Amino acid sequence: MLIIGEKINTSLCGVEEAVKTRDKDFIQNLAKKQWTQ
């Protein structure tokens, strides 16, 4: 099973602000980085 987006958690540095401002690029890049790890 693959879980993508596990690190999209507002308790992590920078993520809370990205979610509040709906920063699509930041969130997509975070998910892509997690996929490639």
Stated pTM of the model: 0.69
8 Å CB contact between 4 and 31: yes
Instruction: Report which of residues 25 and 36 the model is more confident about.
Output: 25
Distance of alpha carbon 16 from alpha carbon 36, whole angstroms: 22
Q: How confident is the model at residue 8 (pLDDT cuts 50, 70, 90)?
A: confident
